[in-house]
Amino acid sequence: MSQVNQVSTAQSGVRHFRLPDVGEGLVDAEILQWHVKPGDEVAVNQVICEVETAKAAVELPCPWAGTVRELLVPEGRTVDVGTPIISVATGEDDGDTEVREKPLVGYGEKAAATQRRPRRRPGRAPAAGAPSPAAEPAPAPAAVPAEPEAPAAPAPPAPSNGTANGAGGTATPAGPVLAKPPVRKLAKDLGVDLRTVTPTGPGGIVTREDVRRDAAAPASAPLEQREATPAAPAADQPAAGQAAPVPAGAGEARPAPGVREERIPVRGVRKHTAAAMVRSAFTAPHVTEFLQVDVTKTVKAVEKLKARPEFAGVKVSPLLLVARALLSAVRRYPGINAAWDEDAQEIVVKHYVNLGIAAATERGLVVPNVKDAHAMALPDLARALQSLTETARAGAATPADMSGGTITITNVGVFGVDAGTPILNPGEAAILAFGQIRDLPWVHKGELAVRKVTTLSLSFDHRLVDGELGSRVLRHVGAVLEDPKTTALVWG
């Protein structure tokens, strides 16, 4: 059976919409939330559901206009690409047909993509026409991190029955609910129907506060005081001497009385990450080297950059200069930006850099990358990093954002950690870990002084990167961060 993007079968005026392939070789997805129900009228390109693949949360539009007849797959179930997920009465009766539609907006179709047969696995959704099983119970979630956005304006608790809030209140919207994927996930975890929530965000968007307010029960302390800080992507660093961000749910989630174990289904990003890490760890022989660096001048350079007009409105952090330092090392030592081709028994040296930034998000670890980072001026790189991390925070990174990386940075310092031994992204030769910046005693110009110090950790694939090359790359990054102005990192 050949794999297609969207396949419909018309029988007696009813078409079945099959789970599409977003064009990145993904083979299955989980139905996160349905936005329609049987009997609803749908228009062409109206969003009917949200699915989570191994790389991203994606909203699926309906390719036809008609009436929803049946939801063939319940929320929370994982199904293979090509499985019918919804039937729509379109009024057309032209026999069994297969219609190949364009790929979803934002996802390019791979040229000469390899055809594959959808895998059958136990516990998957039945084919169209079979009775839909009850939705799987969602695992007890850990507390979801707070979204890094401005808090919503104070508003009275929204009623859960969807009626107007008295005189001047806001009625439940009749159209599609506007909410970001992380907000939808929070609503699902808390058992809140987004259609009953009164939105307070700009343009009628439902915010986290709206969802929490709807789900809040009487408690001794306001919910806002119990919220944890957000899971921070790699773009942020705690200031020296400050505590690292507390992971969401730390010290807050409590098991039910008598519960000693909890089983959480492995799917979505966690499933993809687990497979990638195992493949990398047991394929590439890892070597990790460490280097402590005095980054006092880098910290000062960051403050100077913030005052420059070309960086107005752009977040500038030490990570920006770490990224530029690594790009400088790649330019000098291109062998570090390479891949091992096992089938051809060749080393593929890449003369472009798609710079990956490992980010901790609500959906797990994701590594989106800045395309052609080597060709960017420093202000452009700063904007690209900011956009990348904001997209990751919102849970909106696409499979295209996370494909094609050539070398990666992971900022473990944001969690208050000095160093680590990061595992390579499959297909890459190196990954640089950036530790926290701390005030430490350091010999400076022959005297003991308190300086800003960090630890850099470079893991590399020893099949194609020798110890000498790895050491030179790490030392080059350290030298640039020790004196960015002299190396023309900032002003060049």
One-character DSSP codes across 332-387: H-GGGSEEEETTTTEEEE-SS--EEEEEEETTEEE--EETTGGG--HHHHHHHHHH
**Which residues are bridge partners to 467 per DSSP?**
none
pLDDT of 41: 93
Q: State whether residue 323 is helix, strand or coil.
A: helix
Both tokens of residue 478?
């350290």
Which phi and psi (to 5°) does residue 128 adopt?
-60, 140
Q: State whether residue 154 is helix, strand or coil.
A: coil
Dist CA 335 CA 349 (whole Å): 6
Q: Which regions in the chain score pLDDT beneath 70?
A: 1-12, 22-26, 54-55, 92-176, 181-182, 185, 217-255, 487-492
pLDDT of 134: 40
The 10 Å Cβ neighbour count of residue 161 is 7
| Residue 228 amino acid letter | A
Instruction: Give rounded-to-5 percent helix, strand, coil for the chain.
Output: 25, 20, 55
Whether 286 is catalytic is no
Instruction: Evaluate whether 48 touches 62 at the Cβ level (below 8 Å).
Output: yes
Give the residue from 212, 145, 185, 189 showing the smallest Cα distance to 51.
185
Per the residue annotation, which of 35, 374, 444, 462 is the catalytic one?
462
Instruction: Evaluate whether 244 touches 230 at the Cβ level (below 8 Å).
Output: no
Measured between its terminal Cα atoms, the distance across the chain in Å is 55
Dist CA 30 CA 125 (whole Å): 10
Residues 6+ apart with CB under 8 A from 48: 17, 34, 35, 36, 42, 60, 61, 62, 68, 86
Burial of 343 (0-12, 13-18, 19+ CB in 10 A): exposed
pLDDT of 389: 85
Dist CA 282 CA 365 (whole Å): 19
Buried b (16+ CB within 10 A) or exposed e, 230-268: bbbbbbbbbeeeeebbebbeeeeeeeeeeeeeeeeeebb
Dist CA 460 CA 288 (whole Å): 7
Instruction: Evaluate whether 212 touches 390 at the Cβ level (below 8 Å).
Output: no
Give the residue from 90, 80, 115 showing the smallest Cα distance to 9.
90
Dist CA 53 CA 75 (whole Å): 14
Give the residue from 339, 322, 330 showing the smallest Cα distance to 375.
330
Residues 6+ apart with CB under 8 A from 148: 230, 393
Both tokens of residue 409?
């940075």
